[in-house]
């Protein structure tokens, strides 16, 4: 084990030595349509990024994930492009009371690694399959101009909550630029097409040149594989609604 960064309730465990060089950091979570997690997982696979660590917290459901019979941590950190890219993906929903301490711990770790720009990929929950696939962006003024010049439409107003919103809020208090790309996504069904749209927006601004053909070709398999995760996300959202925790709002 190479190292550990921790708060009282969150541990960032490094299992391999990582040397980042002013990296772009991309994050995806189990939100609407699971689009963020699907998109970031596809980027990790396409670029053959290496797992370097994971997040441990009492605010995560007691669960482990597996792929092709191999067990793996649900909340993982990857490095690639010779230290110029970091990817963080969480494949299970998080308890609402844990989003702030987890976001704070992640941003502490990001600052230690010299990260200056974080991009969150997230879905806007809608009922039914979106008729038009399109991405939107929200960011800070200096980055907004760059995104607009490259043809990415800005959202006029709205609220992003959960772990994505908490991370972006943390960026505002630090010397880290926060960016979020959003796309309408089927609320509680895995939505690979939405994930592909987010990757397209990411490529438009950052030029990573990620091929999404394999993602779209395996859309049916992805839906079946992630069906249980989506159902668990739906159950957790309903439980939070009973507690009075609001839905995401985008305008």
Residue-wise pLDDT tens digits, 103-127: 999 999 999 999 999 999 999 888 8
Question: From CA 157, how far away is CA 53, in angstroms rounded?
Answer: 35
The pLDDT assigned to 157 comes to 79
Q: Which of 247, 229, 221 is nearest to 68 (CA)?
A: 221
- Rounded Cα distance between 182 and 121, Å, is 6
pLDDT at 248: 47
Q: Where are the domains of the chain?
A: 3-246
Q: Name the one residue in this structure whose structure tokens are 């597996």.
A: 66
Residue 28: the pLDDT is 96
**pLDDT at residue 130 greater than cutoff 90:** no
Q: Exposed/middle/buried for 172, CB within 10 Å: 0-12, 13-18, 19+?
A: exposed
- Looking at residue 126, its pLDDT comes to 86
In this predicted structure, what is the pLDDT of residue 247? 46
Length of the chain: 251
pLDDT at 249: 40
> What's the pLDDT band for 244 if we cut at 50, 70, 90?
low
pLDDT grade, residue 155 (50/70/90)? confident
169 band by pLDDT with thresholds 50, 70 and 90: very high
> Is the model more confident about 64 or about 78?
78
Q: What is the pLDDT of residue 95?
A: 83
The fold of the 3-246 domain, in CATH, is Rossmann fold (3.40.50)
Are the C-beta atoms of residues 150 and 204 closer than 8 Å to each other? yes
Q: Which of residues 30 and 206 earns the better pLDDT score?
A: 206
Q: Is the pLDDT of residue 6 over 60?
A: no
Mean pLDDT of 186-208: 90
């Amino acid at each position: 084990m190479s190292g550990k960064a921790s708060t009282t309730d969150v541990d960032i465990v490094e299992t391999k030595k990582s040397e980042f060089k002013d990296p772009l950091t991309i994050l995806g979570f189990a939100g609407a349509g699971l689009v963020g997690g699907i998109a970031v997982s596809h980027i990790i696979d396409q670029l053959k990024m290496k797992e370097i660590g994971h997040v441990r917290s009492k605010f995560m459901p007691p669960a482990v994930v597996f792929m092709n019979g191999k067990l793996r941590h649900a909340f993982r950190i990857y490095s690639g492009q010779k230290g110029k890219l970091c990817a963080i993906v969480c494949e299970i929903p998080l308890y609402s009371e844990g989003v702030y301490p987890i976001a704070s711990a992640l941003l502490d770790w990001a600052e230690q690694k010299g990260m200056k720009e974080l991009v969150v990929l997230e879905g806007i929950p809608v009922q039914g399959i979106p008729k038009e696939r399109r991405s939107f962006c929200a960011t800070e003024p200096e980055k907004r101009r760059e995104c607009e010049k490259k043809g990415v439409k800005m959202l006029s107003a709205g609220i992003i909550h959960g772990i994505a919103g908490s991370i972006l809020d943390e960026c505002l208090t630090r010397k880290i630029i926060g960016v979020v790309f959003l796309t309408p996504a089927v609320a509680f069904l895995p939505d690979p097409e939405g994930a592909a749209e987010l990757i397209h927006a990411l490529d438009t601004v950052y030029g990573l040149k990620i091929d999404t053909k394999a993602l779209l070709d395996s859309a049916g398999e992805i839906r079946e594989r992630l069906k249980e995760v989506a159902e668990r996300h739906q159950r957790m959202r309903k439980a939070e609604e009973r507690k009075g925790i609001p839905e995401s709002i985008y305008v």
